[in-house]
Amino acid sequence: MIVTRFAPSPTGLLHLGHAFAAITAHDMAFSNLAAPRPGRFLLRIEDIDASRCREEFVTAIYEDLCWLGLEWDEPVVRQTARGDAYRAALAALDRMGLVYPCFCTRREIADEIARAVEAPHGPDGAIYPGTCRGLTRDERARRMAAGVTHTLRLDSAKASAQAGAMTFRDLKAGVVAVEPTLLGDIVLARKDMPAAYHLAVVVDDAHQGVTLLTRGEDLFAATHVQRLLQALLGLPEPEYAHHRLILDASGKKFSKRDHAVTLRSLRESGVTPSEIRARLGL
Ligand code: GLU
């Protein structure tokens, strides 16, 4: 049985790009007509970053999906209710010796990158240069005791060595060899947030039993590190369908500030769900 999910963050109204992602996930769950059981389409509200999320946008997500005619299987998972699961996963990685505290501010990281002759790069630009990875145990303890704010990062090189060679399968790209250090030493958790994006997604997709992860190709690089986290945590490996992105007239991704293409404004201007599908080529 194919299990897919749509996992929006309630930081604004859904737009055409979200509609494409949601319809794709929904339709792929029911694409195998020969399957003995129909698929499942799940919804997850990625509200882990409370400072950016608003309840009115959660309500709007439900309204927009209903309007599009996309029925999801209950229960809806909300990341704000999943703290214990994230903490358990983080503790497991910590027991493997793969987590370290990072005391750098964003500013310090940017300065360090600017100073470096050859800063390490990922697909989206410079990555964390590993400043705090080599701190001694005493230095870490001293800063913690002094109450210096810190995030927790994954030692990606060490994690990669422990996990060994890995692959993931994308329906379009085929079998892809994982580059575990592609995004560097990612943040796993931060102050007031028991898990950052990658860790939360991996733990939640396993919890929800997702078998086919559909999402935009802008997250292709994220899949490398998420596959690493799955392997380390002994979680099942889903398949992936990274889909094309819906771009605006100037070739850029829609932003949540683009009011003209929110599903709400399209609906209010009389556009129908089938016109939305047609406009998206679905
Ligand atoms: N919550 C993410 C977003 O709205 C999607 C996460 C994912 O599909 O892995 O962009």
Q: What is the pLDDT of residues 71-112, one digit of tens each?
A: 999 999 999 999 999 999 999 999 999 999 999 999 999 998
Q: What distance in Å separates the CA atoms of residue 197 and residue 9, rounded to the nearest whole number? A: 11
What is the four-CA torsion angle of 91, 104, 150, 205, rounded to 10 degrees? -40
Report how far ligand 1's centroid is from the alpha carbon of 9 (Å).
Answer: 7
What is the average pLDDT score of the chain?
Answer: 94
Distance from the Cα of residue 223 to its chain's centroid: 9
Q: Is this model's pTM higher than 0.85 or not?
A: yes
Is 259's pLDDT higher than 80?
Answer: no
Is 30's pLDDT higher than 80?
Answer: yes
Atom of ligand 1 nearest to the CA of 21: 8
Is 132's pLDDT higher than 90?
Answer: yes
Q: How confident is the model at residue 188 (pLDDT cuts 50, 70, 90)?
A: very high
Q: Is the CB of 4 under 6 A from ligand 1?
A: no
Rounded to the nearest 10 degrees, the angle between the axes of helix 220-233 and helix 197-207 is 60
Q: How confident is the model at residue 199 (pLDDT cuts 50, 70, 90)?
A: very high
Is 258's pLDDT higher than 80?
Answer: no
Is 32's pLDDT higher than 90?
Answer: no
Phi, psi values for residue 150, rounded to 5°: -145, 160
Q: What distance in Å separates the CA atoms of residue 109 and residue 117, rounded to the nearest whole number? A: 14
Is 247's pLDDT higher than 90?
Answer: no
Which domains does the chain show, CATH number per domain? 1-81+247-282 (3.40.50.620), 82-200 (3.90.800.10)
Report how far ligand 1's centroid is from the alpha carbon of 44 (Å).
Answer: 9
Report how far ligand 1's centroid is from the alpha carbon of 7 (Å).
Answer: 5
Given this model, what pLDDT does residue 266 score?
95
Is 260's pLDDT higher than 90?
Answer: no
Q: Is the CB of 2 under 6 A from ligand 1?
A: no
Tokens 């080599």 found at: 134
Is 234's pLDDT higher than 80?
Answer: yes
Given this model, what pLDDT does residue 118 score?
81
Q: How confident is the model at residue 235 (pLDDT cuts 50, 70, 90)?
A: very high
Q: What is the largest CA-CA distance in the chain?
A: 64
Structure tokens belonging to residue 212: 């086919």
Tokens 């990158």 found at: 113
Give me the mean pLDDT over the 203-229 stretch: 97
Of 9-23, 108-122, 183-197, 267-281, the range with the lowest mean pLDDT is 108-122
Q: How confident is the model at residue 125 (pLDDT cuts 50, 70, 90)?
A: confident
Is 122's pLDDT higher than 80?
Answer: yes
**What three-state secondary structure class fits 206?**
helix
Report how far ligand 1's centroid is from the alpha carbon of 230 (Å).
Answer: 17
Q: What distance in Å separates the CA atoms of residue 141 and residue 88, rounded to the nearest whole number? A: 22
Q: What distance in Å separates the CA atoms of residue 47 and residue 186, rounded to the nearest whole number? A: 19
Given this model, what pLDDT does residue 248 score?
82
Q: Is the CB of 245 under 6 A from ligand 1?
A: no
Question: Which residue minimizes the CA distance to atom 3 of ligand 1?
Answer: 8
Give me the mean pLDDT over the 166-174 stretch: 97
Q: Which residues pair with 4 in a beta bridge?
A: 41
Given this model, what pLDDT does residue 175 score?
98
Q: Which residues pair with 41 in a beta bridge?
A: 4
Question: Which residue minimizes the CA distance to atom 6 of ligand 1?
Answer: 7
Q: What distance in Å separates the CA atoms of residue 140 and residue 174, rounded to the nearest whole number? A: 43
User: Ligand 1: which of 4, 5, 9, 240 to mutate, most ligand atoms within 8 Å of CB?
Assistant: 9
User: Ligand 1: which of 46, 47, 205 to mutate, most ligand atoms within 8 Å of CB?
Assistant: 46
Distance from the Cα of residue 120 to its chain's centroid: 22
Given this model, what pLDDT does residue 243 score?
96
Going along 95-224, which residue ranges are E strands? 99-102, 121-122, 125-126, 151-154, 167-170, 174-177, 187-189, 212-216
Q: Is the CB of 204 under 6 A from ligand 1?
A: no
Question: Which residue minimizes the CA distance to atom 9 of ligand 1?
Answer: 201
